[in-house]
Every structure is written in C-alpha cells, then in structure tokens.
Amino acid sequence: MPPIWFPTGYRLTGADYLELLKTKITKKSGKSSYVFQQDGAPAHTCKAVQDWMETNMKFWPKTMWPPQSPDLNPLDFSFWWHVESQACRVRHSNVEDLKTSVEKKWKAMKRSYIITVCQAFRRRVEAVIEAKGGEIHK
C-alpha cells in the first residue's frame, strides 16, 4: 500500500485514523496473515481505535510495545530509509514531484527485499529483549 499523504499542518485525530483503518487499510490488506503494527501516537492508541482493531484485525496493542519501538517496526528501521535514499537521489522542484518519486520508489521495492527485512524481525525482537526494552543498533 503506498503512503497516505496529509496536508501540511494537519493533525491526525483518533476518529480520522479509525476512518482510514476502515476505508483504506483493511480494504487493501484483506484477510492476509499480517499483524498490524503502529506506534504510540495518540490517534493510534485512543480507546475507539484500539477497540475497533481488537475486533477487526490482528495487531499489537499499545501495551505490547517496548520504549524503543522504532527498532521493531520494519517501516521505521528499513523501508522508509530505503525509499528515502532512492527518492532523494535527485532534486525535486516541488513537494508534488517529491511525493510522486516516493510513491514510485515504494511501488518498485522488490519483494525479496521486503521478505529479507521482515525475516530480520525475530532477531531484532531478541536484541530488544536483551537490551531490556532499550534501543538497539543495526
């Protein structure tokens, strides 16, 4: 699923996030065997969102995330870096061109890369446990 863009200055609310989950995310993902991950943003952790997710999808509730959760989210520890390093190799004349470049690089990400990153997840979980929930290094 490509990135979802918000207007500059927009602050995502729990109600808006819940609508995104219902209309964009669950429709795109269908009945796959994924486990949905998110961070501790207020929109992600509000009661309405947590309750809806509990009923409608497999996910890790806010109580399961360690303090350094970016270390355990493939989007944070790998995918965004990969897309950014590719999309920002050239100068963009405006924000729309940059968004287009990011979307193209996102769609061009190889399946083998995605699988490799996801397979590193267990090793990263073990490293976070060893660090007692603290930050780990790649």
According to DSSP, residue 30 is labeled T
Are 101 and 117 found together in one domain?
yes
User: Which domain does 84 fall in, by range?
Assistant: 66-138
Domain boundary among 65, 87, 119: 65
Domain boundary among 49, 65, 81: 65
Are 116 and 57 found together in one domain?
no
Are 129 and 78 found together in one domain?
yes
Are 91 and 53 found together in one domain?
no
Residue 26 has pLDDT above 80, yes or no: no
Count structural domains, the chain. Answer: 2
Which tokens is 102 given? 């990011």
Q: What is the pTM of this model?
A: 0.73
Are 81 and 93 found together in one domain?
yes
- CA pair distance 95, 5, nearest whole angstrom: 11
Are 70 and 94 found together in one domain?
yes
Give the pLDDT confidence of 47-100 residue by residue, as tens digits.
999 999 988 888 888 777 766 566 677 777 788 888 999 999 999 999 999 999
What is the band of 5 on the pLDDT scale with cuts at 50, 70, 90? very high
Are 104 and 137 found together in one domain?
yes
Are 95 and 126 found together in one domain?
yes
Are 75 and 120 found together in one domain?
yes
Q: Report the mean per-residue pLDDT for the chain.
A: 85
**3-state SS of the chain: helix, strand, coil percent to 5?**
60, 0, 40
Instruction: Out of 57-71, 91-105, 107-121, 123-137, pick the least confident.
Output: 57-71
Which tokens is 57 given? 């999808």
Are 56 and 98 found together in one domain?
no
